[in-house]
């Protein structure tokens, strides 16, 4: 999809992270000036290393928990793409205080800095975890349940704060509820690695991945290019009805973890046929996990002109190739 967005100064918080670095790269290709704010808590220098030579790229090492860093980063900025957060449900269960400090306190700092700098629009990473214990499928934006983890609480509070800032201060905001994003640059290592890069890394080492539960939990896995499209569309949309609200960002299709493992084996076996014979293990269900997740993307299609191009299968083919070449 060809989205016209150029000659703007755009801040990407968490710009050295998985999603943020991909956004930085795409925005630079389109001819924008990009400011990246990151403290490398979860982001990586290698994700932005190729961008540092670009005269239209500015890196600020700072923390969204420090208002002064946020004020420095938004100076002269047209738009903010706020991706900085401490992700992971298990991490938030283990350490709710730090997750809250970053995801709520840091978010509020960014809203204040953006308001005071006269930023035109503040687009932020929301989360499908906001749907909590709601059992209805597909997930529709205006029907949520009670949060099931400290992380989910923080992401819901983000939506409440954004709504208040748009109504009280006139700051344009758009929240994007990401559903299980995957793709190039997503870290396969660490205790809180997402399932797809973690399993890819294990298969490539000849190790058996462990599925939490029986593998019949399902997710709406969303390739990074669909997410980039949603962010850019959120910056350029000029329909008043489309602003100061939240959207699901997903493909709109669910696959079980057993399906996922089958697809990963299939694609990885093209590079090493021994992978097709690796056994998969099963462990207990993970605390705070919801059984099934599927997004309705009708609202985003209607108001943002969102048109996701990558299914799980198509995205996995791209992601596996990237991992094989870069791990």
Residue 304 lies inside a defined structural domain of this protein: yes
Please give the Cα distance from 9 to 19 (Å, whole number): 18
Residue 234 lies inside a defined structural domain of this protein: yes
Residue 316 lies inside a defined structural domain of this protein: no
Residue that has been written with the tokens 């985003």 in this structure: 300
* Residue 284, beta-bridge partner list: none
Boundaries of domain holding 32: 9-182+224-252+290-310
Residue 210 lies inside a defined structural domain of this protein: no
The number of folded domains in the chain is: 1
pLDDT at 2: 81
Residue that has been written with the tokens 């903010």 in this structure: 80
Residue 105 lies inside a defined structural domain of this protein: yes
Give the residue numbers marked as catalytic: 151
pLDDT at 286: 78
pLDDT at 222: 96
Residue 3 lies inside a defined structural domain of this protein: no
Residue that has been written with the tokens 């006139």 in this structure: 170
Residue 120 lies inside a defined structural domain of this protein: yes
pLDDT at 53: 95
Q: Note if the bond before 138 is cis, omega within 30 degrees.
A: yes
pTM of the model: 0.96
pLDDT at 243: 98
**Mean pLDDT by 10-residue block, N- to C-terminus, for the chain (327 residues)?**
90 98 98 98 96 98 98 98 94 96 98 98 97 94 95 97 98 97 92 88 93 92 98 96 98 96 94 92 83 95 98 96 92
Residue 106 lies inside a defined structural domain of this protein: yes
CB 83 within 8 A of CB 102: no
CATH code of the domain in which 39 resides:
3.40.50.720
Please give the Cα distance from 171 to 242 (Å, whole number): 14
């Amino acid at each position: 999809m060809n989205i016209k967005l150029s000659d703007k100064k755009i801040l990407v918080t968490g710009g050295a992270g998985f999603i943020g670095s991909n956004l930085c790269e795409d925005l630079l290709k389109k001819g924008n000036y990009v400011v990246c704010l990151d403290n490398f808590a979860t982001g990586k220098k290698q994700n932005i290393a190729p961008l540092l030579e670009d005269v239209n790229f500015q890196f600020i090492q700072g923390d969204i928990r420090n208002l002064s860093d946020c004020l420095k980063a938004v100076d002269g900025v047209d738009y903010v793409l706020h991706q900085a957060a401490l992700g992971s449900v298990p991490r938030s269960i283990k350490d709710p205080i730090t997750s809250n400090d970053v995801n709520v306190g840091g978010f509020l700092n960014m809203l204040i800095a953006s308001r005071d700098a006269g930023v035109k629009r503040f687009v932020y990473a929301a989360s499908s975890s906001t749907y909590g214990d709601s059992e209805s499928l597909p997930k529709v934006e205006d029907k949520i349940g009670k949060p099931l983890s400290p992380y989910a609480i923080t992401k819901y509070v983000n939506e409440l704060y954004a709504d208040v800032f748009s109504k009280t201060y006139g700051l344009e905001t758009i929240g994007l509820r990401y559903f299980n994003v995957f793709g190039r640059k997503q870290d396969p290592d660490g205790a809180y690695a997402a399932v797809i890069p973690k399993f890819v890394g294990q298969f490539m080492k000849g190790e058996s991945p462990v599925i939490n539960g029986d593998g019949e939990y399902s997710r709406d896995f969303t390739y990074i290019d669909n997410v980039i499209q949603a962010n850019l569309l959120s910056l350029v949309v000029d329909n008043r009805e489309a602003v100061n609200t939240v959207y699901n960002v997903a493909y709109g299709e669910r696959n079980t973890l057993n399906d996922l493992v089958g697809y990963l084996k299939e694609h990885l076996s093209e590079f090493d046929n021994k992978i097709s014979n690796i056994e998969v293990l099963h462990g207990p269900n993970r605390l705070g996990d919801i059984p099934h997740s599927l997004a309705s993307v009708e609202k985003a299609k209607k108001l943002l002109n969102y048109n996701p191009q990558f299914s799980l299968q198509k995205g996995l083919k791209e992601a596996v190739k990237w991992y094989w070449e870069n791990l």
